[in-house]
Amino acid sequence: MIYGYIRVSTDKQTVENQRFEINEYCRKNSFLIDDWIEETISGVKNPNKRALGRLLSRVEKGDIIICSELSRFGRSLLMIMSILNVLLEKGVCVYTIKENYRLGDDIQSKVLAFAFGISAEIERNLISQRTYEALKRKKAMGVRLGRPCGKAKKVKLSDKKEVIQDLLALQISKMNIARIFDISVPTLYRFIECENLYLPKELKKGLFVKKITE
């Protein structure tokens, strides 16, 4: 199967220029497109959320994908390399018109596929390292990490504040309170902290006496 892949980012762009380039390329090289894949979507979108993702899952060894340029696959180098690596591992040939790439089942393409895989792994490690260093730096500066308290308009325990306050005053363990509301203990701790539910000893004692005498 020979596929013609076309992608534009917005409705204002036209697919006709890319279709013309691919048709001219096929005419000069005696190719015939069996199926066209056209989509209007940003190249930053994950391929799995695009028509390209469905194409990647259906292509087989010996198939050919023709596109105007590699940037049609994605906007980032990491994404493009990942896509090409998948295609080359499946034995699919990729022909681009503007760069004049012919990536297929030859030694040069296999070396290139290996380079793509190594580059992608290095890039992922660099991103992970940069993220770790940024978080470590913020923590050292005293910045509180994680989701800020009070940002959500409504959470699962929003209407249970008074009940939880009474249970705490009765010295019910936090583990048992979490079980009552079917939540995790860390979730309960975050809610208690965000809502300032730590009660003074006098208030705890007063509520305890009130509950006993009811």
* More confident site: 82 or 198: 82
100 and 189 housed in the same domain: no
Q: Is the pLDDT of residue 142 over 80?
A: no
Residue 45 and residue 66 in contact, taking contact as beta carbons nearer than 8 Å? no
183 and 94 housed in the same domain: no
Residue 194 structure tokens = 């965000």
Domain harbouring 94, CATH code: 3.40.50.1390
Report the number of distinct structural domains present in the chain: 2
Domain assignment present for residue 140? The answer is no
* More confident site: 168 or 198: 168
Domain assignment present for residue 151? The answer is no
pLDDT in tens, 8-57: 987 667 788 999 999 999 999 999 999 999 999 988 888 888 999 999 99
Domain end marker among 123, 150, 177: 123
92 and 186 housed in the same domain: no
Strand 93-96: give its sheet, edge to edge: 35-40, 2-8, 64-67, 93-96, 102-103
d(CA 4, CA 104): 16
Domain assignment present for residue 203? The answer is yes
Report CA-CA distances (Å) from 31 to 26, 27, 28, 56, 106: 4, 6, 8, 20, 20
Q: Is the pLDDT of residue 204 over 50?
A: no
Residue 38 structure tokens = 């056209």
206 and 114 housed in the same domain: no
112 and 22 housed in the same domain: yes
pTM for the whole structure = 0.54
- Mean pLDDT of the chain, nearest integer: 79
116 and 197 housed in the same domain: no
Structural domain that includes position 178: 158-213
182 and 95 housed in the same domain: no
pLDDT at 208: 44
Residue 7 and residue 43 in contact, taking contact as beta carbons nearer than 8 Å? yes
pLDDT at 86: 87
162 and 116 housed in the same domain: no
Domain end marker among 123, 143, 175: 123
